[in-house]
Structure 1
Amino acid sequence: MFFFFFLEFPNILSERLTHAMEKMNMDVSTLVLLVGASVVTVKRWLNGTYQPRHVNLPKLICALQVPADYLCIE
């Protein structure tokens, strides 16, 4: 039962990253340059398999020009 509950709610962080990138007309390669992460890491953030480390959150917030609590939801 818990398994189905988990599947109903997609990864909110990856949705918010995608939305913020779309709003800024930013592609993965631009975000990679601004944050200093690898392409693989950014793609994993976007597909929800990885969460950004705490050292990358301020860089993401600055690059995407979003409020701090927009990405820090947990």
Structure 2
Amino acid sequence: NFLVKVNANIGNSAVTSSIEEEVEKLVWATRWGADTVMDLSTGRYIHETREWILRNSPVPIGTVPIYQALEKANGIAEN
């Protein structure tokens, strides 16, 4: 037997997408068989986006915490 796990990457940026669109991507990813989902969101509203994704996900979610830390420091790593 050969088993495969499927990971889907989603995430908004400062230029594209909305929270609703990211949740819709999550729904479609899991509907089509994703075992896990990575939220690679950047830009503003990372916390809110991540909260909605976590609340709506039936599968484990991975994140990139440094993106949220930079958003809280207004994009300045030294802060």
Tell whether the structures are fold-level matches, with TM greater than 0.5: no
Hey, which of these two has a bigger chunk of helix by percent? 1
Taking structure 2 as the reference length, the TM-score comes to 0.27
Higher relative contact order (CA 8 A, sep 6+): 1
Please report the TM-score for the alignment, with normalisation by the length of structure 1.
0.28
